[in-house]
């Protein structure tokens, strides 16, 4: 018997933190695909981090955001979630048809989501320590952005890969925000900057921005 999984479950719930770049990727993908969802904020800093409480560990044993409750399932890991959305909600595709272009999208995703973001994640920076964390984050972001810029020099059109927005763009924009947060000099990356600027005014990206999240503090912290 086949059931319509898309309509027989309540609205998806996204466990999210306003300036978590991984939550932000999924928010963009959900918005681009016009999937309505509710946000359940998980503060990564309040009381040592709500992601570590027993209740949330049941949702995500990695004690990180995001997690997405959708179609009766709980999904974790932002890239796996984006692929699920792509496979269950093919409207507004976030992967190109062409296999070479798909490979390029995945390459850029990997550089950012394996080669940059995990190295400058909150849990790592806590271990690195307050004094060294800025230099540490700058080092890994610079190293990765050099590779992203090189990849974009052959793949980019209007966006990361050609002229259609893809999952690579969902990953790039939040990483540029993190680069600015850690005062990385972005002048050596003109293509990254151009694409980021291009997407700034896109409604799906704008709605997913940290400053438009329900848990964004009224006074933005400056670090």
Ligand X SMILES: O=C(O)/C=C\C(=O)CC(=O)CC(=O)O
Q: Which residues bind ligand X (CB under 6 A)?
A: 19-22, 44-45, 117, 121-122, 178
CA distance 138 to 185: 9
Closer CB to ligand X, 121 or 142, in the complex:
121
CA angle 192, 122, 160 (to 5 degrees): 20
CB closer to ligand X, 5 vs 45: 45
As measured in angstroms, the least distance from the Cβ of 115 to ligand X is 13
Minimum separation from the CB atom of position 125 to ligand X (A): 7
Rounded CA-CA distance 71/104 in Å is 30
Instruction: Tell me the three state secondary structure of residue 190.
Output: helix
Report the nearest approach of ligand X to the CB of residue 185 (Å).
19
Q: What are the tokens at 150?
A: 């090189």
Give the residue with the Cβ less far from ligand X, 155 or 175. Answer: 175
Q: Residue with the closest Cβ to ligand X?
A: 122
- Own/partner long-range contacts of 106-110 (Cβ < 8 Å, ≥24 apart): 107/151, 108/148, 108/151, 108/152, 108/155, 108/160, 108/161, 108/168, 108/171, 108/172, 109/79, 109/167, 109/168, 109/171
Shortest gap between Cβ of 98 and ligand X (angstroms)? 30
- Pick between residue 63 and residue 149 the one whose CB is nearest to ligand X: 63
Provide the minimum distance between the beta carbon of 61 and ligand X in the complex, in angstroms, as a whole number.
18
Nearer to ligand X by C-beta: 155 or 178? 178
CA–CA separation, 138 vs 182, rounded Å? Answer: 6
Give the three-class secondary structure for 74: strand
> What's the angle, vertex CA 24, arms to CA 18 and CA 29, rounded to 5?
145
Q: What does the alpha-carbon distance between residue 203 and residue 209 come to, in Å, rounded to a whole number?
A: 10
CB of 126 to ligand X, least distance (A): 10
Closer CB to ligand X, residue 112 or residue 195?
112
């Amino acid at each position: 018997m086949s059931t319509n999984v898309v309509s027989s479950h309540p609205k998806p719930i996204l466990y999210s933190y306003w300036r978590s770049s991984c939550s932000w990727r999924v928010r963009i993908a959900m918005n681009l695909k016009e999937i309505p969802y509710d946000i359940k904020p998980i503060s990564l800093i309040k009381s040592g981090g709500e992601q570590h409480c027993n209740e949330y560990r049941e949702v995500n044993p990695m004690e990180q955001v995001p997690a997405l409750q959708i179609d009766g399932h709980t999904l974790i890991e932002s890239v796996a979630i984006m692929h699920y959305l792509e496979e269950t909600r093919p409207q507004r595709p976030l992967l190109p048809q062409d296999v070479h272009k798909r490979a390029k999208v995945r390459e850029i995703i990997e550089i950012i989501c394996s080669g940059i973001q995990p190295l400058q994640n909150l849990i790592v920076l806590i271990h690195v320590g307050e004094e060294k964390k800025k230099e540490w984050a700058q080092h890994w972001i610079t190293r990765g952005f050099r590779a992203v810029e090189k990849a974009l020099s052959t793949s980019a059109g209007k966006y990361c890969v050609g002229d259609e927005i893809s999952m690579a763009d969902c990953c790039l924009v939040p990483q540029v925000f993190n680069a600015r947060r850690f005062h990385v000099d972005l002048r050596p990356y003109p293509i990254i900057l151009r694409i980021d600027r291009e997407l700034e005014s896109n409604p799906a990206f704008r709605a997913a921005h940290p400053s438009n999240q329900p848990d964004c503090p009224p006074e933005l912290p400056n670090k």
